[in-house]
Amino acid sequence: MADTIKLHDLEFMPYLSETEIGKIVDEVSIKINEKYAGKSPLFVVILNGAFMFASDLIKKVNVECEISFLRVSSYRGTASTGEVKEMMPIGTNVSGRDIILLEDIVDTGNTMGEIKQQMKDAGANSVSICTLLFKPDAFKGNYLVDFIGVEIPDRFVVGYGLDYDGLGRNLPSIYQIRPNT
Ligand code: 5GP
């Protein structure tokens, strides 16, 4: 893994390597395959950040499934705006379906809380949340996060689909903001 990197005005240090991420993704896929054996879930990939995680994870899912996409945005710079804007509707009927929301990171939990509620209101049979990264110290939701890849401290991260104002999504590993920046 490369050394410290700079994106815009901020510096980031290596945090999770490609190998570590691969192991985490494997573990999550095993749990999903167990829980959804015999079912036909609909994955809803939360764009933009979850595209890389979703691509790696879904290749390891061996149950019959469908995949759809939902584009939302609630971040500006390194802070959540707290308001969730739905930007691209999934265009798939969720009524009666077993939904698995695929997210890169759950921070305050506002985004997933809102989307979960929208899916329930639209008549989903069940709605699970699957996230690669979870910040327990920032989480304010009153719901369960069903599948968690790894818990991380409340510090801004980039890479593996996650960006800082548009940059860093292409990095194959995850970097954490450098202390005192
Ligand atoms: P929440 O609604 O849980 O506060 O925030 C969820 C969204 O905020 C994530 O989908 C992600 O886009 C963004 N986010 C939260 N924490 C981070 C972080 O540490 N780094 C990056 N790049 N985005 C984050």
Domain with 126 in it: what CATH number? 3.40.50.2020
Calculate the alpha carbon distances from 175 to 15, 74, 108 in Å.
Answer: 5, 20, 20
Assess if residue 40 is contained within a domain: no
Assess if residue 104 is contained within a domain: yes
pLDDT above 60 for 171: yes
Q: Are 58 and 77 in contact (CB under 8 A)?
A: no
User: Tens digits of per-residue pLDDT, 32-60?
Assistant: 999 999 999 999 999 999 999 999 999 99
Assess if residue 9 is contained within a domain: yes
pLDDT at res. 87: 61
Assess if residue 57 is contained within a domain: yes
Residue 13 CB coordination number (10 Å): 14
| CA distance linking residue 169 with residue 119, whole number of Å | 27
Pocket mutation for ligand 1, best pick of 74, 81, 145, 176 (most atoms within 8 Å of C-beta): 74
Assess if residue 162 is contained within a domain: yes
Mean pLDDT over each residue of the chain, to the nearest integer: 93
| Catalytic-labelled residue, pool 3, 107, 137, 165 | 107
Q: What's the whole-number mean pLDDT along residues 150-154?
A: 98
User: Tens digits of per-residue pLDDT, 69-126?
Assistant: 999 876 556 666 666 766 667 788 999 999 999 999 999 999 999 999 999 999 999 9
Assess if residue 140 is contained within a domain: yes
Residue 149 CB coordination number (10 Å): 22
> Which of 145, 142, 152, 149 is CA-nearest to residue 175?
152
pLDDT above 90 for 22: yes
Assess if residue 77 is contained within a domain: no
CA 48 to ligand 1: nearest atom: 12
| CA distance linking residue 33 with residue 167, whole number of Å | 33
Assess if residue 19 is contained within a domain: yes
| CA distance linking residue 102 with residue 97, whole number of Å | 15
User: Tens digits of per-residue pLDDT, 112-129?
Assistant: 999 999 999 999 999 999
| CA distance linking residue 45 with residue 71, whole number of Å | 8
Q: Which amino acid is at 59?
A: K
pLDDT at res. 88: 63
> Measured in angstroms, how far is the CA atom of residue 43 from the centroid of ligand 1?
19
Domain containing residue 57: 5-34+50-69+92-177
Residue nearest to atom 9 of ligand 1 (CA): 105
DSSP class of residue 178 equals: P
DSSP class of residue 123 equals: T
Strand partners, 167: 164
CA 106 to ligand 1: nearest atom: 3
Q: Are 10 and 178 in contact (CB under 8 A)?
A: yes
pLDDT above 70 for 163: yes
| CA distance linking residue 65 with residue 53, whole number of Å | 16
User: In total, how many domains does the chain have?
Assistant: 1
